[in-house]
């Protein structure tokens, strides 16, 4: 398995399917675990880290996940490959650029990743498209059960699963949902969203997790409390209360744009189309923001029947269907593909060599221009 | 309330300044506030949260007494001083060794909670499994009573008694 086998298409969880996928991009659950009988990584020698790596790698590679898995020695991987894994949400930035022997076990279809020797000895995650937290919870719990038969976890009846950082203590669970909230931003209400998130003791982050800025109106929200509340209760709170409420706010903002502020909406969509169709240099940040507005327009057309002047024009754009070879109306899958395949490491891996930022910006602009052709 | 500067967006940042005894109030939107140099943190990353909590902790002397300031873990040699710098612990036993100092921090980080309730490894000793299961059931019982679901409450009470 080579990274180029997956680098020219999007992950399954990003194909635009899944419940509430017009607003909920993905659902992710990760568990933090450490091995009994070993120090946490900050106090481990290189030898001890290598032992932990080997033990967990063997256990993970013997899992039966219903999909093939591949292993990557993260500490030995090229810098571009590491960036690529971060761009695909398969490993964290911390893992990509950390220290010492460390690796990742990844399912071919990218729904499962295990990071070995990140901040904890083991972090496993399951990722699915749209609002699918219960399915993620079920799957990761099963994987955790099987792993637990192969290795011994550090656990205390008082504090639960023992983690290197006390903020992950207890269940070691981090439930994260990635949301696309362009209408809340356009209507000046995004600060309300942040306030609500803070009040509920949740964290809001950008597209690539901890330390990243919000880009293209994508926001990840996740739980901060991991102790004294069960995994099930955390997942249920997200599924029943938090996410439906945010989705409702975003939908209300979309309706408000249509009812009262069509010019605001159409201006954003039209400017995005004009720039994306004509620019010869475009940064990844700019591309994310502009594509975000096209994504909003297509979703409003598909789900709300919106047909403002700009959305009508947007619906005339086409893209080549990779399977049929015919030009088809622009879909969310195409937009998502443009989001991902124009990220810096994706561009370079698919181009086959390292590119400086100007050449990346030119290549990105070219890919987007050719994808957004007007239908005949 | 509209932003005092642009008079367009809703004011979400409210500042009170007292200069030479005079009180000035400013109501700004996010954009104008950042143009005016007011830094807005929309999100608190977990590391920052932890650092804030660590900074808010009493000094080691107040927790341990000055003679224990250099207390180190007999298993990994870790010290509290190192924890303050790195925000991660040295080994699982540190939770026991530094319990007195960690407990208030854990409480703050986890919304007042200090006891695990959730999954238990199947290999865990039977008594700790029972302890956590009872805790989980008690929580559900409390919720059932609050929701006036007395049928479920009775079922949960019986389960707790069986344990």
How large is the ipTM? 0.85
Which residues in chain A have Cβ-Cβ distances shorter than 8 Å to B106?
159, 166, 169, 227
How much of chain A exceeds pLDDT 90, in percent? 75
Residue A319 has pLDDT above 80, yes or no: no
Check CB contact under 8 Å for B105 and A43: no
Q: What's the mean pLDDT when you consider all of chain B?
A: 75
Subunit contact B95:A162, Cβ cutoff 8 A: yes
Low-confidence winner among A12-21, A267-276, A293-302 (lowest mean pLDDT) = A12-21
- At B120 the three-state DSSP class reads coil
B87/A contact by beta carbon, under 8 A:
yes
Highest mean pLDDT: which of A25-39, A181-195, A322-336? A25-39
Asked if the model's pLDDT at residue B56 lies above 70, the reply is no
A–B interface: beta-carbon pairs under 8 A: 156
Q: Minimal Cα distance from A171: which residue of B?
A: B118
Q: Give the model's pLDDT for residue A373.
A: 75
* Higher-confidence position of A355 and A210: A355
User: Which of B45, B50, B114 is opposite residue A165, by nearest beta carbon?
Assistant: B50
Distance in angstroms (rounded) separating the CA atoms of residues A356 and A368: 18
When pLDDT is cut at 50, 70 and 90, the band that residue B134 belongs to is confident
Closest chain A residue by Cα to residue B92 = A162
pLDDT in tens, A191-224: 888 888 888 889 888 776 555 556 778 999 999 9
Environment class of B11 (CB within 10 Å of its CB; exposed 0-12, middle 13-18, buried 19+): buried
pLDDT in tens, A356-375: 999 999 999 999 998 887 65
> Would you say residue B57 has pLDDT above 60?
no
Q: Which of B8, B119, B127, B147 to mutate to test the interface with A (most CBs of A within 10 A)?
A: B119
Report the pLDDT averaged over residues B157-163: 79
DSSP letters for B57-105: SPPHHHHH-GGGTT-B-TTT--BHHHHHHHSS-SSTTHHHHTHHHHHHH
Most B-contacting residue of A228, A234, A235, A256 (CB-CB within 10 A), to test interface = A228
3-state secondary structure of A249: helix
Distances (CA, A) of A337 to A46, A302, A347, B163: 39, 18, 12, 53
Q: A6: distance to nearest CA of chain B, Å? A: 31
With 0-12 / 13-18 / 19 or more C-beta atoms within 10 angstroms meaning exposed / middle / buried, residue A304 is middle
d(CA A284, CA A346): 11
The C-alpha R_g of chain A, in whole angstroms, comes to 21
Q: Answer yes or no: do A228 and B47 touch at CB < 8 A.
A: no
Segment A124-133 shows an average pLDDT of 96
pLDDT score of B41 more than 50? no
Helix (H), strand (E) at residue A28: strand A24-33
**CA separation for the pair B68, B62 (Å, rounded):** 10
Using alpha carbons, select from A164, A128, A354 the residue that is nearest to residue B90. Answer: A164
pLDDT at position A260 is: 93
Closest-CA residue of A relative to B75 is A39
Residues A147, B122: Cα–Cα separation, whole Å: 11
Q: Residue range B22-37: average pLDDT? A: 70
pTM of the model: 0.81
d(C-alpha B123, C-alpha A260), whole Å: 60
């Amino acid at each position: 398995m080579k990274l180029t086998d997956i680098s020219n298409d999007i992950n399954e969880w990003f194909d635009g399917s899944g419940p509430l996928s017009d607003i909920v991009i993905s659902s992710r659950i990760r568990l933090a675990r450490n091995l009994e009988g070993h120090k946490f990584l900050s106090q481990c020698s290189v030898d001890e880290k290598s032992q932990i790596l080997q033990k967990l790698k063997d256990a993970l590679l013997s899992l039966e996940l219903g999909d093939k898995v591949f292993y990557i020695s993260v500490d030995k991987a090229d810098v571009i490959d590491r960036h690529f894994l971060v761009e695909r949400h398969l490993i964290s930035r911390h893992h990509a650029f950390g220290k010492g022997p460390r690796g990742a076990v990844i399912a071919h279809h990218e729904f499962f990743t295990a990071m070995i020797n990140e901040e904890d000895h083991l972090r496993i995650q399951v990722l699915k498209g749209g609002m699918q937290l219960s399915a993620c919870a079920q799957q990761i719990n099963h994987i955790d059960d099987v792993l637990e038969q192969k290795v011994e976890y550090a656990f205390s009846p008082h504090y639960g699963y023992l983690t290197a950082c006390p903020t992950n203590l207890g269940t070691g669970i981090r439930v994260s949902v990635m949301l696309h909230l362009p209408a809340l931003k356009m209507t000046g209400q995004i600060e309300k969203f942040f306030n609500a998130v803070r009040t509920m003791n949740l964290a809001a982050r950008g597209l690539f997790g901890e330390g990243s800025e919000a880009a293209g109106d994508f926001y990840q929200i996740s739980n901060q409390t991991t102790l004294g509340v069960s995994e099930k209760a955390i997942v249920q709170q997200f599924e029943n209360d938090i996410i439906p409420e945010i989705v409702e706010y975003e939908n209300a903002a979309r309706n408000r744009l249509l009812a009262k502020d069509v010019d605001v909406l159409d201006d954003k969509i039209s400017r995005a189309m004009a720039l994306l169709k004509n620019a010869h240099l475009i940064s990844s940040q700019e591309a994310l923001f502009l594509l975000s507005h096209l994504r909003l327009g297509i979703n409003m057309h598909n789900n709300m029947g919106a047909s403002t002047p700009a959305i009508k024009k947007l619906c005339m754009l086409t893209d080549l269907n990779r399977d049929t070879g015919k030009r088809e109306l622009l879909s969310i899958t195409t937009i998502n593909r443009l989001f991902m395949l124009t990220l810096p490491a994706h561009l370079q891996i698919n181009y086959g060599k390292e590119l400086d930022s100007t050449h990346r910006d030119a290549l990105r602009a070219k890919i987007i221009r050719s994808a957004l052709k007007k239908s005949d | 309330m509209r932003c005092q500067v642009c008079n367009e967006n809703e004011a979400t940042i409210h500042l009170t300044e007292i200069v030479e005894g005079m009180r000035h109030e400013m109501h700004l939107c996010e954009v104008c506030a950042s143009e005016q140099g007011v830094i807005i943190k929309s999100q608190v990353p977990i590391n920052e949260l932890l650092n804030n909590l660590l900074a808010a902790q009493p000094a080691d002397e107040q927790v341990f007494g000055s003679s224990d300031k250099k207390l180190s873990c007999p298993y990994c040699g870790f010290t509290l001083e190192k924890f303050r710098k790195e925000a991660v612990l040295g080994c699982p036993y540190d939770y026991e060794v530094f319990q007195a100092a960690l407990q208030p921090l854990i409480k703050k980080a986890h919304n007042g909670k200090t006891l695990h309730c959730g999954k238990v490894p199947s290999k865990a000793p039977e008594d700790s499994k029972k302890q956590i299961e009872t805790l989980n059931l008690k929580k559900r019982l409390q919720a059932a009573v609050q929701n006036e679901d007395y049928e479920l409450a009775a079922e949960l009470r019986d389960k707790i008694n069986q344990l």
